[in-house]
Copies of this chain bind each other. A is one copy, B any other.
Amino acid sequence: MAEFELIQDYFSGLSQPDSQVVLGVGDDCALLQPPAGKRLAMTMDTLIAGRHFLSDEHPSGIGYKSLAVNLSDLAAMGAQPAWALLSISFPQIDHSWLEAFVSGFVTLMREQGVQLVGGDTCQGALSITWQLTGFIEPGQEMRRSAARPGDAIYVTGTLGDAALALEMKRAGQDPGELEQRLTRPVPRVEEGRRLGAAGVRSCIDISDGLVADLGHICKQSGCAARVHLNRLPVSPWVRQYLQEGGDFRPVVAGGDDYELCFTASPDSVAHLQDMPVTRIGEILPGEGVELLDGSGNALPLPPAWEHFAS
């Protein structure tokens, strides 16, 4: 009974029966009424201690980030988050850990209008799986496969912050304000919805680094991408790091930024000037990602981000 009561205690209050959530946590299944005329975007990701996060990290941070990175997948499709299922495995029942874990995600969940409708808890190595469902108007979804030669390439926000913060922590330095970018990434949900509604058809979220994730777009769209290093948007901290001779690899191969990378004709996004969006390159015929320095010379491509893998 322990598992059952755990679920009830911690998770049953995180949904409110409404016209869409007919039945939430506590039965064999949740019962949902999808809104008429919408499509559903569904994603599921597992985060494992020692690989995607450190097991001695504060549980509220684990709770926050595990939900945020899944919301980022909905953002990349242009979907409006709606329902979540959560499966957690932990080595033993630790109520204070669980309380902090829940407190870490509950604010983000409410901000994004997500209801926790079901899930599972078990004993095992620390591991967290979120399954999220979002709503999307038919035709407004953004796919990895829809980039076309002639599109410009854009990213939201700034790149490399999370990777630099991690590098500083590993070197025993205090990343200061930059640490938030690593531990509390803000999923670009609203930006994703606006891009999809504006007619952008190709998008991905940057979880494994710009080169790797843009590479997915190229592969699935059957085209090539050229990126100009000196156009990549960076924060003041990363700018300083680069000016002091730091390596550019965190900017192009650093994961965990959870910004969006999308391709579109410049006309289609011209009216989105209030969004933090930077044009960084262009889609071309061919295959693969090419990275050019300020003189137009090709730079060697760094390997993809390895998260916390040793």
A23, A43, A86, A124 — which one has the most chain B CB atoms within 10 A of its CB? A124
Return chain B residues, CB-CB under 8 Å to A51.
Answer: 122-124
Query: Are A26 and B77 also in contact (CB < 8 A) when A124-B51, A125-B124 are?
Result: no
Query: Are A119 and B26 touching (Cβ within 8 A)?
Result: no
Which of A102-110, A127-135, A164-172 contacts the other chain?
A: A127-135
Per the bound structure, the CA–CA distance linking A23 and B39 in Å amounts to 11
Chain A contact residues: over half helix, strand or loop, or mixed? strand
Q: How far is the CA of A52 from the CA of B124 in the complex (A)?
A: 10
Cβ contact of A44, chosen from B40, B120, B215, B309, cutoff 8 A: B120
Residues B44 and A119 in contact, CB atoms below 8 Å apart: yes
User: Bound state CA distance, A125 and B119, in angstroms?
Assistant: 20
List, in ascending order, chain B residues with CB within 8 A of A154's CB: none
Q: A48: CB under 8 A from chain B?
A: yes
What residues on B are CB-neighbors of A120 within 8 Å? 44-46, 129
A259 on the interface (CB 8 Å rule)? no
Within 8 A of B (CB), among A106-122: 117-120, 122
The reply to whether the CB of A85 lies closer than 8 angstroms to some CB of chain B is: yes
Number of copies of this chain in the oligomer? 2
- Among the 9-residue stretches A28-36, A245-253, A275-283, A287-295, the one with 4 or more Cβ atoms under 8 Å from chain B is A28-36
Most buried by B among A26, A28, A30, A134: A28
Q: Is the CB of A136 within 8 A of B31?
A: yes
A246 CB, min distance to chain B CBs, angstroms: 26
Q: Is A60 among interface residues, defined by CB-CB distance under 8 A?
A: no
Stretch at the interface among A140-148, A231-239, A264-272: A140-148
Within the complex, the shortest CB–CB distance from A45 to chain B, in Å, comes to 5
> Chain B residues near A79 (CB, 8 Å)?
29
Contact residues in B for A43 (Cβ distance below 8 Å):
28-30, 85, 118
Minimum-distance CB pairs A-B, first 5: A29-B41, A48-B124, A28-B76, A44-B85, A131-B131
Apart from A28-B144, A29-B42: 5 A-B pairs, beta carbons within 8 A:
A4-B216, A29-B79, A42-B117, A44-B87, A51-B123
List 12 A-B pairs, Cβ < 8 Å.
A1-B215, A4-B216, A29-B43, A29-B77, A31-B136, A31-B141, A32-B39, A43-B118, A44-B85, A44-B118, A45-B120, A51-B122
